Structure 1
Amino acid sequence: MTLSIPLEVQEILQTLESAGFKAYVVGGCVRDALLCQITRNPYIPKDWDITTSATPDEVMRVFADSKVLPTGLKHGTVSLIKKSVPYEITTFRIDGDYLNARSPESVHFSTSLEEDLKRRDFTINALAYHYHEGLVDRFCGLDDLQNGVIRCVGNANERLCEDALRILRALRFASLLGFTIEQSTKDAMFAHRQRLTKISQERIRVELTKLLCGKNVKSVLEEYAEIIAVCIPEIFPMIGFRQHHPYHHLDVWGHTILAIDRACEDSIIRWTMLLHDIGKPHTFTQKEGVGHFYGHAQKSALIAEKILDRLRWDKKTKCVILTLITHHDIVLESSPKSVRRLLSKLDNELFELLLEVKKADILAQNPSLISERLKNLAEIREIKAQVLDSQMAFCLKDLAVNGRDLQHIGITEGKEIGKILSTLLTLVIEEKIENTQASLLREARTLYHSAHK
């Protein structure tokens, strides 16, 4: 099987070989290049990694006239910069003992490609390629790639004990590629899932984010909920929690999974759907056999905030997700007034994200009762477009007056100007006064004099 390798990568291989060393492209880039041919889907490699018999010092000597960065000398890796693109070059190696469930305490350089491939996580990643030798496949990775199987290299228990993050990586690949996980690998994943508690929260966040955006996320979350719950224990109460409501034919976890699956493949939307109902088990009440979850959006936001903080999310993304969770069950009327009212609280971008959240939420509800809700949502989206096109006022800058206009009529105190402008905006949105300079200034005078009687 012949793979198309970028010219710059071929030049790196040829330069190392001319200096007397072996060199191959390896790992994910080979996997994705093969997937391109097998499935004809655009799994175009983003990064081309190179493995070589040359030590880091030898690599730096070979490329002495180029920019080489010692990015990971401890693990035998340097980065060669060509045309502003970094290429990682790593020496064949054998890993020492893993004592922290994440990385080896030491590495030993080797001259054997097979020894290097043997230490890798999954057979589909233990593939190397050389433009003359062709594909180097010591562990039947091509067969697994063609059959859609994720299998650990060698003993699954050993591989997952070495690096517990591989458990989430397996789930990520299963979600993104639509692959199944081979039984002994699956058994080992469940057996060693508690080792995920030793992994840094940032790495867990990265893997979960990729997992959530996969095409096969529904099957993965259904089958591996117990593993996901090690990373986010707060989801445990959702699993099997019946809702006892005509709008919901699934338990809370089942609804959550379906909502994620029905959402657009955007990481913020997918995380919002994962956490949007996490407060439901804590707010459940029942009246005449019908379940209610009063205040669950606010409770979900409180729980989600702790989770997002623990996973080290940046403040901006966290704020967006929490805002969407807080507003996900807000009742929206299909009227310009209602749309403008919400636009005054959220900007247009957040409003659009909220509509995506509400759509995914509806699509995960009882199929026999969602048509009217979807119709209403479509009407709201159309009204929002009309509001924006017609430039109806929904924020302070849309008002026909500003702070300077109020100063000209004798209102000079800053806080009072802000308060009056906010009140004027509310009156305009509620269609109680027109958005004209004359009407707004007249109302501003009235508000000012009423406050100073």
Structure 2
Amino acid sequence: MGMQLVMTAKRILEKLESSGFEAYMVGGCVRDMLLNRPLHDIDICTSARPEEVISLFERTVPTGLKHGTVTVVEDDVPFEVTTFRTEEGYSDYRRPDRVQFVDSLKQDLSRRDFTINAMALDRFDRLYDYFGGRRDLERQVIRTVGEPRERFAEDALRMFRAIRFSGQLGFSVGEKVLSAIRIHRRLLEKVARERITHEFQKLLQAPYVEQGLRLLWSSGITRDVSPFHYLHKGLREILSFSIQALTERERWVLLLYHMDEQYRASFLHALRLPKAFVKEIKRLLRHLEHYEHVIDVEDIPAYDLIRLGEEDFVSLLKLNQLMLNRSVATDLRQQIRTVLDNLPIRHPQELCVNGKDLQLFRKRSPGPWIQEELDRLVKAVVEGKVPNEREAIRAFVMEDEKHE
């Protein structure tokens, strides 16, 4: 996929160049190519104006003409093609007040955030690196293009992006950059919350998440920048764990578990996370609090395992083992599957009767009693009191009705 993406991008570059324009692959895709990381998209910059780009390609979408961006669709893949530009005035600390088109690649690259994101490649794989980006890749350090305080005054989100890139790449943050974040961190409160949430989610998905969270702490952001100040108290303990083996949702739950209960709702509300995701992590958090000392598969009744389900039970044990033992069993999922394989049913939905069957057995109208009875039957089947067979369950239900 990556090689095909590059070949398609080079066709776009060639078409622009054959029409008399300069054109380059630019930014994060160049960084990732130099690091041999997977490519997901390729951005292109060019001396061509937006209207000239539109006239050259059959399939285009005018996604950001005001800022010089046209989306060119080639081989059903979108490529953002942006005119060389400079930016001026950032009165809201996030977007330029004015964009000016220019003819110089170097001018365009000079407005970008970090040196490792300010490199370009032409279609012959020649690298254009005016600010030491390749050297910083080799040194594994994140530095801004120019003075950090100027870059952060232009777009305060860049402070959070520096921390997120550290978590994604395992790079250190340059001392001047970290110092500027400590001084200007309160500017983050002027940034749209959705943009910060997007960066924080990427950090919690990152392979070097511990490094990123450590920077979040040392930068002072968790001390007094809303809503991350809710994390400050619990983050110190979390940083004593090795959390790389945790999934994203397990990392979220660990953060919430170490937060004062009274602040959890405010934190989640402030980040404006998707409702389905919030519901999921709240459910897992409830399990964690209810079974706070369960660290082995044998520590929980079979019915509870069935009710929780494999994924939630894996997460529950991983988190408890991490917090209580400081390590997670490598064969945890296999242990759980072995137990499930030896049970009559692995999930409540595998019960061979449903609510309509119960109404027929008992000749009763619908009501809350149906779910209560289904839960009781699942428990009875799992505990071996009745086989998971329709007639056996009907007899079990009717026998109980005689004694009511």
Same structural fold, with TM-score higher than 0.5 when normalized by the shorter chain: yes
Q: 1:327 aligns with which of 277, 280, 287?
A: 287
> Counterparts of 1:411 and 1:326 in 2: how far apart (Å)?
36
From 350, 354, 363, the equivalent of 1:411 is 363
> Aligned pair in 2 of structure 1 residues 5, 303: CA closer, same or farther (>3 Å)?
same
Q: Distance in 1 between matches of 2:103 and 2:206?
A: 37
**Aligned-partner SS, 1:20:** coil
Look up the match of 1:124: 116
Provide the residue aligned with 1:82 in structure 2.
74
Q: TM-score, normalised by structure 2?
A: 0.88
Q: 1:401 to 1:90 in 2, by over 3 A?
A: closer
The answer for the alignment partner of 1:249 in structure 2 is none
Kindly indicate whether residue 145 of structure 2 is the aligned counterpart of residue 145 of structure 1.
no
Tell me by how many angstroms 1:382 deviates.
5.2
Relative to structure 1, the CA distance from residue 32 to residue 334 in structure 2 (aligned partners, 3 Å threshold; closer, same or farther) is: closer
How many Å separate the matches in 2 of 1:4 and 1:337? 51
Q: CA deviation at 1:140?
A: 1.2
Contact 2:210 2:243 in 1 (8 A): no
Whether 2:308 is the aligned partner of 1:342: answer no
Q: Distance in 1 between matches of 2:334 and 2:81?
A: 53
User: Conserved in 1, the CA contact under 8 Å of 2:72 and 2:81?
Assistant: yes
Give the aligned partner of residue 55 of structure 1.
Answer: 49
1:254 equivalent among 230, 236, 250: 236
**DSSP 3-state at the match of 1:45:** coil
Q: Is the 8 A contact 1:324 1:357 kept in 2?
A: no
Shift of 1:47: 1.3
Gaps of 5+ in 1: 37-42, 239-251, 280-298, 365-369
Aligned-pair identity (%): 35
Determine the structure 2 residue equivalent to 1:273. Answer: 254
**Higher mean C-alpha deviation, range 122-131 or range 216-225:** 216-225
Q: Do the aligned residues in 2 keep the contact of 1:218 with 1:258 (CA within 8 Å)?
A: no
Q: What's the counterpart of residue 420 of structure 1?
A: 373
**Preserved CA contact (<8 Å) 2:359 2:366:** no
Cα distance, 1:70 vs structure 2:
0.6
Residue 427 to residue 405, structure 1, CA distance change in 2 (3 Å) = same
**Residues 403, 417 of structure 1: 8 Å contact kept:** yes
Name the CA distance, whole Å, in 2 between partners of 1:333 and 1:306.
30
The residue aligned with 2:104 is 112
Aligned 8 A contact 2:24 2:122 in 1: yes
Q: Tell me which residue corresponds to 1:245.
A: none
3-state secondary structure, aligned to 1:409: helix
Q: Which of 221, 227, 237 is the matching residue for 1:227?
A: 221
SS of the residue corresponding to residue 372 of structure 2 reads: helix
2-structure distance, mates of 1:222, 1:336: 35
Q: Which secondary structure does the structure 2 equivalent of 1:414 belong to?
A: coil
Equivalent positions of 1:162-201 (< 5 A) are 162-201=154-193
Give the aligned length. Answer: 395
Contact 1:213 1:265 in 2 (8 A): no
- Structure 2 counterpart of 1:267, which letter? E
Say which SS state the counterpart of residue 262 (structure 1) adopts: coil
The alignment partner of 2:145 has SS state of: coil
Deviations 1:16-73 (A, max 9, x none): 111111111111111111112xxxxxx132211111111101111122xx10001111
Distance 1:361 1:31 in 2: 37
Partner of 2:29: 29
Aligned residue identity for 2:118:
A
The amino acid across from 2:272 in the alignment is R
Change (3 A) 1:11 1:399: closer
DSSP-derived class of the 2:92 partner: coil
Find the aligned partners of 2:69 and 2:362 in 1 and give their Cα distance: 69
Q: 1:356 aligns with which of 318, 324, 330?
A: 318
2:14 partner letter: Q
Q: Distance in 2 between matches of 1:449 and 1:126?
A: 79
Structure 2 residue matching 1:94: 3-state secondary structure: strand
TM-score (norm 1): 0.79
Distance change (3 Å), C-alpha of 1:137 and 1:394: closer
Cα separation, partners in 2 of 1:206 and 1:339, compared to 1, 3 Å:
farther
Asked if the contact 1:341–1:394 (Cα under 8 Å) also holds between the matched residues in 2, the reply is: no
Aligned residues of 1:257 and 1:274 also touching (Cα < 8 A):
no
CA deviation digits over 1:69-128, x for unaligned, max 9?
011112110000011100110000010200111111120111111111111001111111
Q: Distance in 2 between matches of 1:420 and 1:265?
A: 36
The separation in 1 between residues aligned to 2:214 and 2:280, in whole angstroms, is: 27
CA deviations on 1:378-405 (whole Å, 9 max, x unpaired) are 6x75563234324524654333443344
Q: Secondary structure at the match of 1:30?
A: helix
Cα distance in structure 2, aligned partners of 1:50 and 1:142? 19
* CA distance in structure 1 between the aligned counterparts of 2:29 and 2:144, rounded to whole angstroms: 18
| Larger mean Cα displacement after TM superposition, 321-330 or 66-75 | 321-330
Partner of 1:45: 39
Give the aligned partner of residue 349 of structure 2. Answer: 397
* Contact 1:209/1:271, CA 8 A, preserved across alignment: no
Q: Do the aligned partners of residues 403 and 157 (structure 1) sit closer, same or farther apart at CA in structure 2, a change above 3 Å counting?
A: closer
* Contact 2:221/2:229 (<8 A) preserved: no
CA deviations 1:264-297 (Å, max 9, x no partner) are 2532122222222213xxxxxxxxxxxxxxxxxx
Structure 2 CA distance for partners of 1:21 and 1:363, relative to 1, 3 Å: farther
The residue identity in structure 2 corresponding to 1:50 is I
8 Å Cα contact 1:402-1:421 kept in structure 2: yes
Aligned to 1:120, what secondary structure does the other structure show?
coil
CA deviation digits over 1:246-276, x for unaligned, max 9? xxxxxx43331244x4342532122222222
Question: How far, CA to CA, are the matches of 1:337 and 1:449 in structure 2?
Answer: 35
Q: CA RMSD in A?
A: 2.8
Matched letter for residue 254 of structure 1:
R
- Give the conservation status (yes or no) of the 8 Å contact 2:9–2:42: yes
